[in-house]
Amino acid sequence: MFTDDERRNCRHDGGLAYRDERAKYMQYIYPAYYSCSTVFYKNKRNDFHIENYEDLYYYKIGFVIGSAYFFPFDQDEKITKKGVGTERQLLEMLALDRIQLIIGTDCQADYEIAQSSYQTLFEKLTYKPNNNVKLHIAISKKSPYLKKKQAFQDALSRLINEGTIEEISASYFK
């Protein structure tokens, strides 16, 4: 299937939500291997509640640049947003009250917070947009490995069908 050199040199991106603009330069591998939901977190010291989408307009919300969360949030220019490079930066900014909320996916944000020193400082909001973010692996359309797309899809399907993805996820999100 793949040589040792191909495995070592393979460049791919995992954990991507499908977006039309990304599909112009990346080839998504199907099926999606995991599903997450969008969540918001706040610092427990802040006494406010988000009941609906419109409440987001009153707060500065941190997000990871290049991430896709949900419509209409991603395109909504009326929401005050602060983009940063990593989830770790979001946590630090929230801890220092430089932003009032952070947005992320439960599978990523929950893990980052659980691994951080901020576990007891933040709380997940009850407000959720009730969306489902399917995660994919993708290969650059300029990659020489694009010709192996079917092999990637076959391997991913096997991992899903054999329960391997579920096992890995269970250990990752303990």
Q: What is the pTM of this model?
A: 0.74
User: How many Å apart are CA 172 and CA 139, to the nearest integer?
Assistant: 23
Q: Which two tokens stand for residue 42?
A: 């706040």
What is the mean pLDDT of each successive set of 10 residues along the chain, which is 174 residues long? 46 67 94 93 95 97 92 96 96 97 91 91 94 90 95 95 90 66
User: How many Å apart are CA 1 and CA 126, to the nearest integer?
Assistant: 46
Domains of the chain plus CATH, in order, are 4-34+133-172 (3.40.190.10), 38-124 (3.40.190.10)
